[in-house]
A and B are shown apart, each in its own frame.
Chain A
Amino acid sequence: MVENVIEMKKAHRLLARMDYELGKVQKGYTNRTLYINLCDNTIKSKPVTQQMKDIFIGGRGFGLWYLWNAVTSETKWNDPENEIIISTGPIGGITQYPGAGKSLVVSLSPITGTVIDSNVGGYFGPLLKFSGWDALEIQGKAEKDVIIYIDGNNGYVTIEEAPEEAVDSHLAAEQFTAMYADSEEDKRNVAVVSAGRGAENTLIGLLNFSFFDLKRGVPRLKQAGRGGIGTVFRDKKIKALVVKYTGVKGDTNGPADKEKIINAGLRLHREIHDLDKVQNRMREVGTAHLTEIMNDYDLLPVMNFQYGSHPDAIKLSSDVFKKYFTQGLPDGCWYGCSMACAKAVDNFELKTGPYKGQKVCVDAAEYETIAGLGANCGIFDPEYVIEANFYCDTYGIDSISTGTLMAFVMECYERGIINKEITGGLELKFGNKEAAMELIHQMGNGYGFGRIAGQGVRRMKKIFVEEYGADPGLVNDIGMEVKGLECSQYVSKESLAQQGGYALANKGPQHDEAWLIFMDMVNKQIPTFEDKAQALYYFPMFRTWFGLNGLCKLPWNDIEPADNGLTDEPAKVPEHVRNYVDIFNGVTGKNITKEELILQSERVYNFQRIFNLKMGYGTRKYDIPPYRFMGPVTKEEYESRAERYDKQLKELGYDIEGKTVEEKIKMLREYREDQYQKLCDAVYRRKGWTPDGVPTLETVKKLGIDFPDVVELISKYQ
């Protein structure tokens, strides 16, 4: 490896270099960002203004602000004007509180056509900041494959042509880490961002962010998966971003009051130590614990979200995966995270594809991947899931979108909408793991039916209708995307609030804005439209805040204090909210309250909604999901929950005596679609938006985001 990387490095051609004075982080900020344009190889420093910090805070907020100013309403994802912005946020990089090393990535998405944000672990964001930069903003396109290298100790940035290193991420991360580290120990000071060949060949490309695992001796990979940012990355001909910074310490983030952070951290570390083993077992199995829970509550997507459980789901349970996950290793994706949920399978021998026969370390498998690639495709084989997870990651394709689009393809195949002739011989029936694996390879390598599948569900719907004569009503009902983004892996049919949680989300149906199914469907805590609207106000605002600050959501509510259930609002986990207020104030020296925390998010959230409007979306009609988000589309689906649906219709006063299943589906649909519209009305009112879902002038003024171009834009919709 060492000799190889020396030769690879010799082949680099320097295109540009900027030397800079080392920065110092003060109260969570370096107060400057790094701008790079790959068209003309510009490298320059930009100041962070007080307005940026006050209104956009950092992380996703900084990304949205830079992108807003970089693009017009006409800009497409593959125009040179599009940017990729990476920023952690003021809290990102502290080592005293679990889950404080996230990077937020923002760009125009190839699949939605509007702004997308994705959050990811690994060391890049914090090391970038400690190297002197609050954000990295990349615009333009290179002619040949390049890397951007940031040396945070010697103070220089280079753009270099890099022709010889691998594109696939498990190799790229290994090669660039070895290339820039002085020793094995030094590898932990190098962080790499890369994509993979599949990011070039599909629209669902992801970015892998590395951190070096000293115990295993390999770089681990965490994914900024949603929305195709990896596709933008490869379109710009970026092979990798590499940052090197040596010297991370407990106070490198320059906190104003370290004691506040330490005290909050100690409280949470104690909870994790004492309670994780009796709560979610994140330290043992990570998010894989959710599989059996979702199955028990009829929420696990099975066969393209038709059903919510399956007898074979036990084969994908956390106890099964625990046998594959190496236990007892420090699996945090940033220093100081005692939750340590980034599980990995070591020495996994690949059975297929270009790396067949090789033994690899797989960052696998999280709940979303297990549910999406496994249950949702009717495949209940853990080794298939691990292998598919490996290839999705190294090819640089989003495993959530892959699971959902694969499930859609399989249902279309089973219903005769597509056939072997169209799939090039692949028998894409539910449960056919060999065909599914082959389709992943086709997507990754850009051939066969993989070229169609890799365009995502929305484009496939159009192709199936226009070229293969599919019934548009049916494919639109069963293709699980909103705004062009494939749905993440929860069945929302029986929770109106979660239908809103998915379809009203700014970026599309990802559950990181709101996951309300237990509150709504199980606990029945939010029965009225107003209750649901309040939840759909509070939780998206609260959760947006993590992305402004470089924080992981999991330590908020995947562990809870022993007495949390006795508090007034257990769903909010009040003690942890207090921790977040403390650590924000401890880092920045400010004195915000929990109400101001929500206000910080509300500004950025509304700004993102208006960004959608700028790009030609952002109104009510883009918030309407396909019917399968709301209820049963087919006879089989209705019959699988007939008792529940019949009961609901009777309670609503429908006369179902002697009615066919098709007639009952129609009645239920009429009711549920109407309920969804009423939910939108209530949510828009609560958020201070017009009936068409546009923030009102009064709202943007109140929030202080009434910039002239914002006011001009929304004025047309008042």
Chain B
Amino acid sequence: MIKVNKENMEYQEGMTVEDVLQKKKYTFRMITVIVNGRVVPKDQYATYMLKDGDNVDVVHIMSGG
């Protein structure tokens, strides 16, 4: 199990940040991904492997429509 924006998500072996974004339908471009308190660069989303128990924050920046 991992936490994504404070909610539980089933962990799967080999899961990347990009997989999480797809699963959550997080399609907005202005996001910052933080895993266990450390920012993951955008160009590593497809390769950054998550571990069971990781805490993932996907911070959507836009605060105005």
Chain A positions near chain B (C-beta within 8 angstroms): 278-280, 290, 292-293, 296-297, 367, 488, 490, 511, 514-519, 522-525, 539, 543, 553, 556-558, 560, 564-566, 570-573
Contact = CB atoms under 8 A, between A and B. Distances in A.
24 contacts: A280-B30, A290-B65, A292-B27, A293-B28, A296-B27, A296-B28, A511-B64, A516-B63, A522-B58, A522-B60, A523-B59, A523-B60, A539-B63, A539-B64, A557-B61, A557-B63, A558-B62, A560-B61, A564-B61, A565-B39, A565-B59, A565-B61, A571-B61, A573-B61
A518 B63 contact: yes
Contacts of B5: 522-524
B23 interface: no
B64 A280 contact: no
Given A523-B5, A539-B63, A279 B25 contact: no
Instruction: Tell me if A's interface is mostly helix, strand, loop or mixed.
Output: helix
A570 B25 contact: no
A570 B27 contact: no
Contacts of B27: 292-293, 296
A519 B29 contact: no
Contact of A278 (B25, B29, B59): B29
A557 B59 contact: no
Residue among A280, A511, A516, A523 with most chain B CB within 10 A: A523
Nearest to A489: B65
Interface string B30-53: 111000000100000000000000
A23 B15 CA distance: 66
A523 B57 contact: yes
Residue among B57, B58, B64 with most chain A CB within 10 A: B64
B30 A279 contact: yes
A560 B31 CA distance: 11
A279 B65 CA distance: 14
A180 to B, nearest CB: 37
Contacts of B58: 522-523
A518 B62 contact: yes
Given A557-B62, A570-B61, 15 more contacts: A278-B29, A279-B30, A290-B65, A297-B28, A514-B64, A515-B62, A515-B64, A518-B61, A519-B63, A523-B59, A523-B60, A524-B7, A543-B64, A558-B62, A566-B39
A543 B59 CA distance: 21
Contacts of A518: 28, 60-63
A374 to B, nearest CB: 16
Contacts of A290: 65
Nearest 5 interchain pairs by C-beta: A565-B32, A518-B60, A515-B65, A571-B63, A515-B64
Residue among B32, B62, B65 with most chain A CB within 10 A: B65
Contacts of A490: 65
B58 to A, nearest CB: 7
Contacts, number: 75
A280 B30 CA distance: 8
A525 B26 CA distance: 16
Contacts of B32: 564-566, 570
A524 B65 contact: no
B34 to A, nearest CB: 8
Contacts of A296: 25, 27-28
B60 to A, nearest CB: 4
A553 B64 CA distance: 8
Residue among A290, A367, A511, A570 with most chain B CB within 10 A: A570
Nearest to A289: B29
Given A511-B65, A515-B64, A565-B39, A570 B59 contact: yes
A297 B64 CA distance: 15
B33 to A, nearest CB: 9
A514 B64 CA distance: 7
A290 B28 CA distance: 9
A290 B62 CA distance: 11
B61 A525 contact: no
A290 B64 CA distance: 11
A367 B65 CA distance: 9
A570 B7 CA distance: 21
A566 B61 CA distance: 11
B65 to A, nearest CB: 4
Residue among B29, B30, B32 with most chain A CB within 10 A: B30
A500 B21 CA distance: 28
B7 to A, nearest CB: 8
A560 B30 contact: yes
A432 B57 CA distance: 42
A634 B7 CA distance: 27
A708 B12 CA distance: 67
A524 B62 contact: no
B29 to A, nearest CB: 5
A525 B59 contact: yes
A516 B63 CA distance: 6
A557 B62 CA distance: 6
Contacts of B64: 511, 514-515, 539, 543, 553, 556-558
Interface in B6-30: 6-7, 25-30
Contacts of A571: 61, 63
A573 B64 CA distance: 11
Nearest to A513: B64
A664 B5 CA distance: 27
A511 B57 CA distance: 26
Contacts of A517: 65
A536 to B, nearest CB: 12
Nearest to B42: A278
Contacts of A570: 32, 59, 61
A525 B31 CA distance: 14
A675 to B, nearest CB: 18
Nearest to A501: B65
B36 to A, nearest CB: 16
A3 to B, nearest CB: 46
Contacts of A292: 27
Nearest to A556: B64
A517 B62 CA distance: 9
A392 B30 CA distance: 32
A524 B6 contact: yes
Nearest to A565: B32
Contacts of A279: 29-30
